């Protein structure tokens, strides 16, 4: 993943509120979570990485920005309600049209993710003194490349089951927490032409997005979620074949045996 990946255009979206209000957070992410994520992606060879944040006009996600984004990363937490319905719908539409989406941590409660899932996306949580281990349960999946059997984070917020999502298409990581819980931490979903990866870690008070293994997973996921030159998706009326009538009942004739 270290070779230049110039053809993939990434946009990192961040709520960017905690960092401006809480010194504990800005100590960990002085340039904001989005910059830490962008730095990690650039270090993995992605040459086109831009950022966008909630308090920019249209939250930084204009039609033009989205039209020029192949994969969008999303980090939000305490201001989900401040994301306008219009921009959320615009992002959802782009995903269905093929843009990849990586939803991080508390983004599980974002309008975008909940709309794409169709469920409540709720979970258990605790800010305590938990250690987390993300175990790989799908070792051959491209998103798990290069990270070993598990990723250990000395301290993280706990998320616990039941996680109210549809059955993921693929389950890649399951987290263990020292306080006694488990969580489906790395899940893929396809919606329309878009590929979605939900990845659990990244509470704002911990240096999770500086962790090399976490950065590796996110880089892998960006590559995995890239749009494919999809088979066309056409819908609507389909003309009647002029000549074809219903097939008649199917009379039969004897046939030779097949080798098997």
Scanning 27-35, 52-60, 65-73, 173-181 for contacts with a second copy by CB under 8 A, the matching segment is 173-181
Shortest Å distance, C-beta 228 to a second copy = 5
Distance CA 196, CA 224 (A): 9
Whether the Cβ atoms of residue 112 and residue 101 lie closer than 8 Å to each other: yes
Give, for 197, the enclosing helix (H) or strand (E): strand 194-199
Asked if 248 interacts with a second copy (CB under 8 A), we say yes
Cα Rg, the chain, nearest whole Å: 22
Q: Which of 27, 68, 89, 128 binds a second copy (CB under 8 A)?
A: 128
Whether the Cβ atoms of residue 99 and residue 68 lie closer than 8 Å to each other: no
Residues 152-171 that bind a second copy (CB under 8 A): 154-155, 158, 160-164, 166-167, 169-171
Sign of the C-alpha dihedral computed for residues 105, 110, 112 and 116 taken in this order: positive
**Tokens 């169709």, residue located:** 118
Helix 33-43 / helix 212-224 crossing angle, nearest 10 deg: 80
Closest Cα partner for 104 from 204, 219, 198, 221? 198
Asked if 122 interacts with a second copy (CB under 8 A), we say yes
Decide whether 31 or 119 has the Cβ nearer to a second copy: 119
Asked if 70 interacts with a second copy (CB under 8 A), we say no
Token pair for 196: 């979605």
Whether the Cβ atoms of residue 183 and residue 118 lie closer than 8 Å to each other: no
Shortest Å distance, C-beta 120 to a second copy = 6
Residues 227-246 that bind a second copy (CB under 8 A): 227-246
Scanning 7-15, 25-33, 38-46, 125-133 for contacts with a second copy by CB under 8 A, the matching segment is 125-133
Decide whether 36 or 225 has the Cβ nearer to a second copy: 225
Asked if 136 interacts with a second copy (CB under 8 A), we say yes
Q: Which of 26, 42, 98, 205 binds a second copy (CB under 8 A)?
A: 98
Decide whether 90 or 195 has the Cβ nearer to a second copy: 195
Maximum separation of any 2 CA atoms in the chain, in Å: 82
Asked if 117 interacts with a second copy (CB under 8 A), we say yes
CA angle 176, 170, 98 (to 5 degrees): 125
Decide whether 34 or 108 has the Cβ nearer to a second copy: 108
Q: Which of 89, 179, 210, 212 binds a second copy (CB under 8 A)?
A: 179
Tell me whether strands 9-14 and 124-126 are parallel, antiparallel or unpaired.
unpaired
Decide whether 57 or 81 has the Cβ nearer to a second copy: 81
Asked if 250 interacts with a second copy (CB under 8 A), we say yes
Decide whether 4 or 229 has the Cβ nearer to a second copy: 229
Distance CA 230, CA 228 (A): 5
Residues 195-214 that bind a second copy (CB under 8 A): 195
């Amino acid at each position: 993943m270290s070779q230049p990946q110039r053809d993939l255009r990434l946009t990192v979206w961040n709520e960017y509120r905690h960092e401006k209000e809480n010194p504990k957070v800005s100590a960990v992410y002085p340039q904001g979570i989005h910059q830490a994520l962008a730095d990690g992606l650039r270090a993995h060879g992605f040459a086109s990485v831009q950022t966008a944040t909630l308090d920019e006009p249209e939250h930084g996600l204009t039609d033009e920005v989205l039209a020029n984004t192949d994969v969008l990363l999303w980090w939000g937490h305490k201001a989900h309600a401040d994301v306008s319905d219009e921009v959320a719908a615009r992002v959802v539409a782009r995903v269905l049209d093929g843009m990849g989406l990586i939803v991080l941590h508390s983004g599980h409660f974002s309008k975008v993710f909940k709309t794409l899932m169709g469920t409540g996306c709720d979970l258990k949580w605790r800010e305590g003194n938990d250690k987390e281990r993300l175990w790989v349960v799908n070792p051959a999946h491209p998103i798990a490349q290069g990270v070993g059997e598990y990723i250990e984070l000395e301290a993280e917020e706990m998320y616990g089951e039941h996680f109210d999502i549809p059955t993921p298409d693929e389950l890649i990581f399951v987290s263990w927490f020292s306080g006694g819980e488990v969580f489906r931490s790395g899940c893929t979903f396809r919606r329309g032409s878009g590929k979605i990866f939900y990845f659990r870690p990244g509470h704002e008070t911990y240096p999770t997005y500086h962790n090399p293994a976490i950065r590796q997973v996110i880089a892998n996921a960006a590559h995995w979620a890239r749009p494919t030159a999809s088979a066309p998706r056409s819908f609507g009326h389909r003309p009647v074949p002029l000549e074809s009538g219903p097939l008649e009942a199917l009379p039969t004739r004897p046939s030779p045996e097949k080798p098997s």
